[in-house]
Structure 1
Amino acid sequence: MNKADLIEKIRDDYDLTRVLARDIVENVFETLATTIQSGEEVSISNFGAFKLADRAARKGRNPATGEAIKIAASRTVKFRPAAPLKAALNVKRRSSKKSSKKRA
């Protein structure tokens, strides 16, 4: 699912105009981004938490040449799924093993 699919899903589910659904989705994403950029953790119950994380500078290799390079320190977002989401993703399905009957 991409952003356009999400907008269409919300539009259909709530009988909204495409413009209103797009504005809602963009506002949610903008609010999440600004909150995370400020260093706050965004926690959505039954879904998960988004948190700002710092990556230290490190050495790497250029895969084309094998030359050693320096990778600069950077900031990224880490996601920690909530327990209900983890549980939903790890539901065990019943196996469809065929029983083997012995012939007499």
Structure 2
Amino acid sequence: MTLTKADIVREVYMHHDEFTKEKSVEAVETLLRLAKDKLISGEDLLLSGFGKFSVRDKRERKGRNPQTGSELMLAPRRVVTFSPSGILREKVNQK
């Protein structure tokens, strides 16, 4: 099952009695906006105990159209990668 933004807002609302639903939405939106702004500017985002989001530059490279088999050049681009923290990795791999 996928965790959605609405699910996160609901969890924030349920675990913080002092938050209204509107405040919960505002808190989640603010966190996501800050994260997006940092990544868009090329900075890393480190969430202790969770992991690190990094922006990486990909060079131009050869590609292939899977339908026709013809070769083409893929333009350079930026991608976001995620590396889980050791703590998260251990918890995910516990049996």
**TM-score range, shorter-chain basis?**
0.7 to 0.9
Task: Compute the TM-score of the two structures, normalised by the length of structure 1.
Answer: 0.80
Corresponding residue number in structure 1 for 2:70: 67
Q: Which amino acid aligns with 2:9?
A: I
Deviation at residue 39 of structure 1 after TM alignment: 2.4
3-state SS in 1 of match to 2:33: helix
The count of residues paired between Structure 1 and Structure 2 equals 92
The higher radius of gyration belongs to 1
Unaligned residue ranges in structure 1 (runs of 5+): 94-104
Corresponding residue number in structure 2 for 1:4: 6
Identity score, percent: 33
Q: Distance in 1 between matches of 2:66 and 2:73?
A: 13
Deviation at residue 34 of structure 1 after TM alignment: 1.0
3-state SS in 1 of match to 2:68: coil
1:15-71: CA deviation from partner (whole Å, max 9, x where unpaired): 322221111111101101111222222211111111111111111111122121221
Corresponding residue number in structure 2 for 1:32: 35
Q: Distance in 1 between matches of 2:80 and 2:14?
A: 30
Misfit runs of 4+, over 6 Å:
none
Q: Which amino acid aligns with 1:8?
A: R
Unaligned residue ranges in structure 2 (runs of 5+): none
Q: Distance in 1 between matches of 2:42 and 2:63?
A: 28
Task: Compute the TM-score of the two structures, normalised by the length of structure 2.
Answer: 0.87
1:52-93: CA deviation from partner (whole Å, max 9, x where unpaired): 1111111111112212122111111111111100110111x3
